[in-house]
Amino acid sequence: MKIVEQIKQPIAYEMDLFEQKFLLSMASKVALLNRITTYIVNRKGKQMRPMFVFLVAKMVSNGEVSERTYRGASVIELIHTATLVHDDVVDDSNRRRGFFSVNALWKNKIAVLIGDYLLSKGLLLSIDNNDFDLLKIISIAVREMSEGELLQIEKARKLDITEAIYYEIIRQKTATLIAACCSLGAASVKPESDHVETMRKFGELIGMAFQIKDDLFDYGDAQIGKPTGIDIKEQKMTLPLIYVLNQASEKDKNWLINSIKNHNKDSKRVKEVIAFVKDNGGLDYAINKMNLFQEEALKLLEVYPESDYKKSLELMVNYVIDRKK
Q: Is 84 helix (H, G, I), strand (E, B) or coil?
A: helix
Which of 87, 70, 74 minimizes the C-alpha distance to 148?
87
Mean pLDDT for back-to-back runs of 10 residues, the chain (325 residues)? 86 91 82 81 79 96 92 90 79 70 78 86 90 92 91 78 90 94 95 94 96 87 58 83 90 88 84 90 94 95 94 92 77
Q: Output the pTM of the full model.
A: 0.89
Distance between CA atoms of 275 and 157, rounded to whole angstroms?
24
Which burial class, exposed, middle or buried, applies to 133 when counting CB atoms under 10 A from its CB (0-12, 13-18, 19+)? middle
Closest CA to 184 of 69, 297, 63, 59: 69
What are the C-alpha distances in Å from 209 to residues 53, 116, 163, 175? 18, 30, 14, 9
CATH assignment, 3-322: 1.10.600.10
Alpha helices in 190-249, H assignment, sequence order? 194-217, 230-233, 239-247
**DSSP symbols for 138-206:** HHHHHHHHHHHHHHHHHHHHHT---HHHHHHHHIIIIIHHHHHHHHHHHHHHSTTSHHHHHHHHHHHHH
So what's the pLDDT on residue 180? 96
- pLDDT given for residue 1 in this prediction: 60
Residue 300: per-residue pLDDT: 95
Alpha carbon distance 7, 310 (integer Å) = 10
Q: Are 79 and 138 in contact (CB under 8 A)?
A: yes
91 in Cβ contact with 84 (< 8 Å): no
For residue 322, the tally of other CB atoms under 10 A from its CB is: 11
